[in-house]
Structure 1
Amino acid sequence: MRSAAGTNESLTWNCRGLGNPATVREVRELANKFALAVLCLVETQLDSARAEILSLSFGYNKSFAVSSSGRSGGLVLFWNNEIKLEIQGYSKYHIDAIMSELGTVPWRLSCIYGEAKVADRYKTWDTLRSLAGTSSLPWLAMGDFNEVLRQSEHDGVSLRSQSQMDSFRDALDVCCLHDLGHSGLPWTFEKKVAGGSFTRVRLDRAVVDAVWSSLFPSAQLDHVASACSDHSPIVLNFSEELMKIKGARPFK
């Protein structure tokens, strides 16, 4: 999300490593193009100090990062001084924050990076469940969950495990979260496989609770093309003219 006149947007992106100059350049271009108020990157493959150094390059003066484990994982959140954002907690799977400047009440923003190993994916769902019990504020969680909710979100040479999808749905049900929907391409991850075909999967999404939906009934999530990653950035827009909140305080 970067504040600009009439614009309130956030972007979450599995950038697959910030060590590549082309990726850094694309992140900078995305931040400028969409006038993002808050930017979250996952799978940074960097330690927290190095990830935070990039904040000025992207046009931000605030950041919070979780170090990667070797060449795996890593999350970083960027924002500016005019955004009132308070970090509440973090792990290798999430950064949890409270937003106090948009809307009539504070709300939660959780940036998620789902466990890549299928056998350990339950750890991501356990993290979500634990987060649900820490606050009663309206809740938005977005990022790369590394899982789908239904078979139609996986187009490839093999079927998705039913038990994997059930575990994801069960976690969202416990947390009272539902998928926000999207526009654009039906998938957010694309990989070429043997024989020249592609596997295309919707791994990245935003999920919200009913109270957050009522605060921002016209919020829109878009899938954006990327030149540097096999994941698509996802951009959430809830700009001033879209908000249906009486007395809402816009970003300036």
Structure 2
Amino acid sequence: MLVANDPDIVFLCETKINANKFSSVRSRCKMEGCLVVNANGKSGGLVMMWKESNKVKVQTYSSNHIDSIIKLENDNPIRFTGFYGNAEPNKRQCLWNMLRRVGQSVTKKWIIGGDFNAILDNAKKEGGRRKPSALMEDFREVVDELSMADLKTDNGWFTWVNNRDCTALVKEKLDRFLMSANDVARFPFMETNVIHPRLCFKYDVCWAKDVEAKKIIKEAWQKGFADIMGKIEMVGKKLGGWQYKKLKQMRTQMGTLQANINKVIDSQGGTYASNKLKALRIKLGKLLDEEEKYWAQRSRIQWLKEGDKNTRFFHVRATNRRKKNNIARLKDMDVSPLSSKYKERAKQGVRN
């Protein structure tokens, strides 16, 4: 996206990372200037990057904004505030007051851009429950008070979609640019666009030996897309949905197999029970191996090297190992359960 649009200034919100992890990103983006506001755990985090270090001067910043003065080519400065609204409605009033304080020091053209996590009216929302009118009124009030205009996008309208199906689908315009109303006419050729990034397609090792996956790839590839990128995107969409369903089925199967293994272990039986237990464990082992490959690729193999004992995979493996090493019951030569007297003797023998 950066290569295609070649921006001079980039503002990112909800990065979910800290400053020490962003230096490599900055160098890859070839940006001279950079300010990073650390994330709070696994939420929040802001970044502003710019190409020429002498063109941007940061004024103030917090966990929800970065305020700066930007020098344009004609040396006329413009005020830009990157903004990230709190998802919790009861905390938004504090952020509106923060924008009011910033506005008191603004004497130049002013643009506010980012994810406001709020809408101006219900026309900016489609699907789901209607937003409380008080929240929208608070947002409209601060926009009017600061004399800002909501810039319309040249393409697209909604900037956030919850990716649900049918009636559960919700679309909202949460990301926007506001500009001082008196200055909008001075930028007649200004464009604002909604860019939906294409999902990164990565080959999954789980597909290599799956007959159904091969069939899906073949059918998607033979459809009438002229360019190869269109074919790859179609394959990615088809396989993504198929793999999600398969993963749910696989987890259900593993739960069923584990329950059946427990039943066989707790039941009485001879050779048949032993063979059945072996067959069930082989099936469960294959499914666990598939799950291992699935998560190993998604975490870049790190958890596999570190051996995170809290993962479901290791938990099930350890549980099965304990059950293999466990003596469920003891029987005599006549295949009758031993009495408590002989059980104690057997335990002493095992300990010794």
TM band (smaller chain): 0.7 to 0.9
Of the candidates 131, 135, 138, which is equivalent to residue 167 of structure 1? Answer: 138
Q: Note the C-alpha offset of 1:62.
A: 1.5
- Shift of the alpha carbon at 1:69? 0.8
| Residue 140 of structure 1: aligned partner | 111
Q: Is the 8 A contact 1:38 1:77 kept in 2?
A: yes
CA separation of 1:102/1:173 partners in 2, compared to 1, >3 Å: closer, same or farther?
Answer: farther
**What is the rounded CA distance, in whole Å, between the counterparts of 2:2 and 2:167 in structure 1?**
33
Higher strand share: 1
Maintained 8 Å contact 1:66/1:74: yes
Relative contact order: is structure 1 or structure 2 higher (C-alpha 8 Å, sep ≥ 6)? 1
Aligned-pair CA distance for 1:91: 0.8
Which of 15, 22, 43 does residue 72 from structure 1 map onto? 43
1:180-206 superposed Cα distances (whole Å, 9 cap, x missing partner): 111222100000347663100000000
Determine the C-alpha separation between the residues in 1 that align with 2:148 and 2:160.
22
Contact residue 72 and residue 78 of structure 2 kept, 8 A: no
Pairwise mapping of residues 34-113 of structure 1 onto structure 2 (< 5 A)? 34-81=5-52, 84-103=55-74, 105-113=76-84
Q: 1:198 aligns with which of 127, 148, 169?
A: 169
The equivalent of 1:186 in structure 2 is 157
Q: Which has the larger radius of gyration?
A: 2
Deviation, 1:114, is: 0.5
2:158 pairs with 1:158: no
Q: Which has the higher helix share?
A: 2
Query: Percent identity over the alignment?
Result: 24
SS, match of residue 99 in structure 1: strand
In the other structure, the counterpart of 1:220 is 191
Structure 1-normalised TM-score?
0.74
Structure 1 pair 119–194 and aligned structure 2 pair: CA distance change class (3 A): farther
* Matched residue SS, 1:111: strand
Tell me the equivalent position of 1:121. 92
Unaligned runs of 5+ in 2: 201-352
Kindly provide the amino acid, as one letter, of the partner of residue 55 in structure 1.
R
SS of 2:193's partner is: strand
Tell me, yes or no, if the aligned pair for 1:31 and 1:58 is still in contact at 8 Å. yes
Structure 1 counterpart of 2:17, one-letter code: L
1:49, distance to aligned residue in structure 2 (A): 2.8
Would you say the 8 A contact 2:32–2:53 is kept in 1?
no
> CA separation in 1, counterparts of 2:193 and 2:45?
23
- Structure 1 gaps, min length 5: 1-29, 230-252
Instruction: Map 1:19-30 to 2 at 5 A.
Output: 30=1
SS of structure 2 residue aligned to 1:222: coil
| Cα offset, 1:63, TM superposition | 0.6
Measure, in 2, the Cα distance between the counterparts of 1:37 and 1:83. 12
Matches of 1:228 and 1:168, distance apart in 2: 32
Which residue in the other structure is 1:3 paired with?
none
Contact kept in structure 2, 1:37 and 1:83, CA below 8 Å: no
Aligned alpha-carbon RMSD (Å): 1.9
- Inter-CA distance 110–194: structure 2 relative to 1 (3 Å threshold): same
Q: 1:121 to 1:216 in 2, by over 3 A?
A: same
State the number of aligned residues.
Answer: 200
Task: Provide Cα deviations, 1:83-131, integer angstroms capped at 9, x if missing partner.
Answer: 6110011011110110113345211011110111111111221111111
- Give me the TM-score of the superposition, normalised by structure 2: 0.54
Taking a change above 3 Å as real, the CA distance of residues 109 and 157 of structure 1, as seen in their structure-2 partners, is same
- Retained in 2: the 8 A contact 1:178–1:207? yes
Task: Provide the residue aligned with 2:304 in structure 1.
Answer: none
Deviation at 1:78, TM superposition (A): 0.8
Shift of 1:82: 6.3
- Distance in 1 (CA, whole Å) between partners of 2:17 and 2:35 is 13
- SS of 1:142's equivalent in the other structure is strand
1:227: how far off? 3.3
